[in-house]
Each structure stands twice: as C-alpha cells, then as structure tokens.
Amino acid sequence: MGRYALLVGCCYLGDRDELQGCYNDVDAMQGAVIKYQLCQMIKRAMAGDVVLFYFSGHGTHQDFWEGPYCKRLEAIVPSDFNLIYSADFRYMVNNMPQGADFVMIADSCNSGGLIDQSKEQVGPGFRPDVCYRTRSYNYGNIGGGRRAKRMPIESVLRHLRPLSHVDSSDIRTLLRDIYGNQASILFRRHVDPDARVDRGILISGCQSNETAVDDDGKHRRPYGLFTDELCSTLRNLRRPMMSNAELVETIRDNLRNKDQHPCLYCSDRHADAPFLWVR
C-alpha cells in the first residue's frame, strides 16, 4: 500500500479577502504526515493506494434553484477562483482505481459535505443539501485577530467578471466561458451520485453551516485553528493509530473555537478504519 499527499494552501495575497495562515498550515501538515512517515508526496494512484488531499483556504457554498427546488453545494476557492464543488470531489472519488481510497481534509468554511452524497459519521446531523435562506455567516475579520475562511459568491464574481468575455452575473456562465473544459464537472456533464461503494473520506474543519477560523497567531505564525489542533493531535499520537472517527471526535473535543465543529463523512467501514490506514 502506498500513501501519497497533495497539500494546498491559498492565502489570496493582496486581495481584500486575504488570509494569513494557509501557507503555514501546509508546512504544519507536511511535518505531521510526511515527517512522521504517514505519507509521501502524491503520484498517480493505483489499486490499494491511499491519496490524501489537504486544502487550507476559503470555502463557499451556492444554492442552485430549479423551479421550487434547491440544491446547496459546497465548494473550495482556489487561487484562480475556478471553484471546485462537492460534485467534483464526488466525481473524483467515483473514478478512483478499484481498491484505492481518497482522503480529503478541508480547513475552510462550509467544508462539511464537500464530498457530495457522503454519509455523516461525526457531526450534527445537519443536512448540507438543504437551502436556508435566513442563515447568516461571518465574513472577513471576525475580531480577536481572526478571519473567517469563507469567501462570499459575490467576491468570486468580482474576480471572474474581468476575465470573461460574457456580461453575466451567473457563475456557471462565467466559469464555463473562462475555463471551458477545466470548469467544474457540474457545468459540463451529468455526475453520477452513486456512493454505494464509497472510497471517499472527508474530514472537514467545520460543519456545512459554520465558519472555519484563520488566526493571526499573535506571538507566533498565523495558522488555521482546525489544522493546528489536527497537527497537535497527530504529533501526540502513539501506535496503534486512532480510527478516523476517534481522531475527529478528539479534535472536536479539544478545539479552542467552540463555534467550529469538525466532522467526518465516509462509509461505516472507513469510520472505524485507522487514519490513513496506518496501524
């Protein structure tokens, strides 16, 4: 079995939604999963491999209305603003080689449910696919040297409009025009939602309706609160490794920001399996 990692941090330097700690989060994760021989850097996955994708940066969500019905989809915000939606991660999981597992760790707002159709194992029972018109969220500076890791769709549109040849406020139209076949699978083809044989594991920094926090560090480097607690937990682990469920429950109990609740989404088998299959 090979274990491979791709670690991504986006700080959006120079933007009014700039974050401070995401690059430091990647350094911390590299120390936690590579220095301690949990993972190597990523390669092409093969049967039996475990692939870890870690993201620290802004998250967002969007409501897609079709008549009276609404589907809410979470997304991460890359530095080029070509949003990667929960449907894209479901597509990745469904196309993993037989016997390979995809582990996603997301330190971003609205990160619960980022692998569409995944079963919630640790969390509040909140339904990420339901649209709540009255829900309010924190943006930007939330006080005490902390910033919310959430970028509103309006800010994404502000970045996309100058890049497009189309005068539109519809994000689907803009992303298709700018990125073509590199835009979300959501806008290009039907996505098979079948998750019966689910090889995806999502550890989210917060629930679908919550804010993840980027801290300025005060007396040390800026960092994400969830990533900091995750790395602290991993550093203090002794073999045998915790199960995925035990790891997330431990982080939930110890996280200093009590308004942020990490979650686990995966199959029953993966909930009881050791983190990254390390025994």
Give the whole-angstrom CA distance, residue 56 versus residue 117. Answer: 22
Catalytic residue among 58, 61, 261, 270: 58
Give the whole-angstrom CA distance, residue 48 versus residue 83. Answer: 29
Catalytic residue among 10, 39, 109, 206: 109
Are 59 and 152 in contact by the 8 Å Cβ rule? The answer is: no
The yes-or-no answer on residue 58 being catalytic is yes
242-245: Cβ within 8 A, 24+ apart: 242/274, 242/275, 243/271, 243/272, 243/273, 243/274, 243/275, 244/121, 244/201, 244/203, 244/270, 244/271, 244/272, 244/273, 244/274, 244/275, 245/121, 245/122, 245/271, 245/272
**Tokens coding 42:** 């990523």
The yes-or-no answer on residue 61 being catalytic is no
Which residues have a catalytic role annotated? Answer: 58, 109
